[in-house]
Amino acid sequence: MQKTIAVFSTKGYVRESFRRVQEASSEFQALELTFFEPRLNRDTAALATGHDGVCIFVNDLADKPVIDRLHEVGVKVIALRCAGFNNVDLNHCQEMGLEVMRVPAYSPYAVAEHTVGLALTLNRKLHKAYNRVRDGNFSLDGLLGFDFHGKTVGVIGTGRIGQVFARIMGGFGCRVLAYDRFPQPELAAGGLFEYGELATLYESSDIISLHCPLTQDTFHMINDYTLAAMKDGVVILNTSRGPLVDTNAVIDALKSGKIGALGLDVYEEEGDLFFEDLSNQVIQDDTFVRLQTFPNVLITGHQAFFTREAIDAIARTTLENLLACPLAPDHPNSVRPTRLVAPH
């Protein structure tokens, strides 16, 4: 029997990857996909009427009212086409009998490599150099960077992405100091990094990169207090989830010079901005606009995952999840409330 799925927040590249993967494998043709451009929220949930499931992305919202509406219109499954699930009220899904599934891994390389790209660009000011040279300005003033070699890199979250990032930074000759709420000692034993306390990581790191999920514990983990504990001139990278960072606190730390550079692929209030072309509009988010004014801040619009390999892997795993549902409770792609702060 065909399962019908309403796919929200779809851009051309999403539709193309799903079609490509569906065409490559006849089993996936048992899934009938309807693509919708809008994000899932209270206003758009009714679009799912007549579908067995919805497929959503990072800035779709499945809070209580949305889940109630989805339940009312007969939806039984929420398939996230991403790893994070902080935008879904898992307890309420369980209460209403909605299954939630995700794509825990698609290409950790995509995200880790983008994070390194942010670090290198900020350190060697490649974004400025590009414009200068195009403008016939070959002055080096203001472009001075530092060697990564020999520096200490703090990695918070040693899951799939954190491990790849640690390996790349180790390749530069950095000392990698890691913290994870659920450490995997075998990784440290293998020499990939050393585990330490979070306080030690904050104190000792020249570069700090966030690779942990957004949970109650990690919300605003970069704040006035933790920033004060860091080295002057620290480089902070966040390619995980915007609310890990208290934006007002980093703005103050950028103004005082405490933060030497900030690379973001995610932003607390990105839901109103990212993935859309707003180049003809006035951005109303003054905090975001203030962030953009700093010469040592580089922001990308949640594109770290965006490689060919990753988007096809996302489509394939999403379709496999939907075909296989209901997933066994211990299936790694099944998301249940108890997994919120579980290791993987």
Binding site for ligand NAI (CB under 6 A): 83-84, 105, 108, 111, 156-162, 179-182, 211-213, 215, 217-218, 239-241, 265-266, 302, 304-305, 341, 343-344
Q: Which residues contact 29 (CB under 8 A, 6 or more apart)?
A: 22
Nearest to 102 by CA among 269, 344, 341, 267: 344
HSE of 274 in the Cβ direction (CA atoms, 13 Å)? Answer: 21
Beta bridge partners of 88: 62
For ligand NAI, the closer CB: 51 or 102: 102
For ligand NAI, the closer CB: 172 or 306: 306
- Residue 260's SS3 state is strand
Q: Which residues contact 109 (CB under 8 A, 6 or more apart)?
A: 164, 307, 309
Residue 138 beta carbon to ligand NAI: minimum distance, rounded to whole angstroms:
34
Residue 116 beta carbon to ligand NAI: minimum distance, rounded to whole angstroms:
13
Instruction: Supply φ then ψ for residue 119, to 5 degrees.
Output: -65, -45
For ligand NAI, the closer CB: 43 or 197: 197
Residue 263 beta carbon to ligand NAI: minimum distance, rounded to whole angstroms:
11
Instruction: Tell the residue number behind the tokens 């398939």, with chain if given.
Output: 79
Please check whether residue 101 is in contact with residue 335, taking contact to mean a CB–CB distance below 8 angstroms. Answer: yes
Residue 178 beta carbon to ligand NAI: minimum distance, rounded to whole angstroms:
9
Residues serving a catalytic function are: 241, 270, 302
- DSSP strand pairing (152-156 vs 77-80): unpaired
Residue 72 beta carbon to ligand NAI: minimum distance, rounded to whole angstroms:
30
Beta bridge partners of 31: 3
For ligand NAI, the closer CB: 123 or 218: 218
- Helix axes of 126-134 and 108-124: crossing angle, nearest 10 degrees: 60
For ligand NAI, the closer CB: 83 or 250: 83
* Residue 241 burial (C-beta neighbours within 10 Å; 0-12, 13-18, 19+): buried
**Sign of the C-alpha dihedral computed for residues 142, 208, 229 and 84 taken in this order:** positive
